[in-house]
Amino acid sequence: MNKFFDMNSRIIGNALDSISEHDMERLISDCERTIRKGHKVIASGLGKNVPICDKFVGTMLSLGLDAGFLHMNSAVHGDMGMVHKGDLVIILTKSGATAETVYLVELLRKREDVKLWLISFEQQSVLADTMENKILIQMEHEGDLWDIVPNNSTTLNLIVLQTVAVELSRRLRLDLERDFKPNHPGGAIGERLNHE
């Protein structure tokens, strides 16, 4: 293995192995039910998790699946209006205790028929201890000099969310021509699809 990737690939591999298959199945199944009922899956995060949420939402939309991103800072300034009855919100937080995140979860709990899921790295925290639906990842190190830069944690969040999106495409039996191609008229993907 390339020496530059050896340590982090081992850390990421071990962290992925720590994820409960049962909980992952429940998350994917809840997302599937949400989409089948005509509702949307929303990802919410702060800081370096923002582009991770954006990537997940972009993948979902490219597949023709209803999704959205709710920024935790702007949520309380009106953006919570995107969360409707029947939607599912995935909360990304490394600590499970960030003030903005805890406050947003408290507000969302008051909304009728909104399913909440947590993805976090602390086995015990304000949110890990109080949220029923959760993916708790055991990660030994961020991989940087000080074990503080959001590095391996954001990579793991991306892997988990992209796995959800890809598995949904399988379970919903999405069709390349019907569901994917219409959303990609341009770029290299559009050119490839138009020549197949």
Per-position DSSP letters for 50-62, written without gaps between them: HHHHHHHHHHHHH
Number of domain units in the chain: 1
Position 196 pLDDT exceeds 70: no
User: What phi, psi does 188 have (nearest 5°)?
Assistant: -65, -35
Average per-residue pLDDT in the chain?
95
Look at residue 68 and give its three-state secondary structure: strand
Percent of the chain with pLDDT over 90: 86
CATH of the domain at 97: 3.40.50.10490
Residue numbers of the domain that contains 7:
1-194
**pTM surpassing 0.75?**
yes
* pLDDT single digits (tens) 133-156: 999 999 999 999 999 999 999 999
| pLDDT band (50, 70, 90) for residue 189 | confident
Give me the helices (H) in the chain, please: 6-18, 21-36, 50-62, 72-75, 99-109, 126-130, 152-171, 187-194
Average pLDDT over residues 56-77: 96
Are 128 and 136 in contact, with CB atoms under 8 Å apart? Answer: yes
| pLDDT band (50, 70, 90) for residue 176 | confident
